[in-house]
Amino acid sequence: MNNSSNFAMLKSAEWKFWLGWIALSTIGSLLGIVAGFFVTILTGGLSANGFPLGWTVVWAILGFFQWLLLKRRIKRSSLWIAVSAIGGAIALPVCVLASYSISTNALSDFFSDFLSLNLNNSYKLFSLSKIGAINEAIVGTAQWFLLKRQISRAGWWIPVSALGGAMILPPISAAIKGLALVLMFRQTTSKPDSYIQE
Q: What pLDDT score does 80 carry?
A: 97
CA distance 14 to 130: 30
Task: Report DSSP state, residue 156.
Answer: G
Per-domain residue ranges of the chain: 3-188
CA distance 145 to 143: 5
Average pLDDT rounded to a whole number, residues 64-87: 94
Average pLDDT rounded to a whole number, residues 21-40: 92
Q: Could you report the per-residue pLDDT of 134-171, keeping only the tens digit for each? A: 999 999 999 999 999 889 889 999 999 999 999 988 99
The Cβ of residue 126 has, within 10 Å, a number of other Cβ atoms equal to 11
Q: What average pLDDT does the structure give for the chain? A: 80
Q: What confidence category does residue 110 fall into, taking pLDDT thresholds of 50, 70 and 90? A: low
CA distance 162 to 141: 10
Model's pTM, two decimal places? 0.80
Element (H, E) at 165: helix 157-166
Q: What pLDDT score does 62 carry?
A: 96
Per DSSP, the three-state class of 29 is: helix
Per DSSP, the three-state class of 155 is: helix
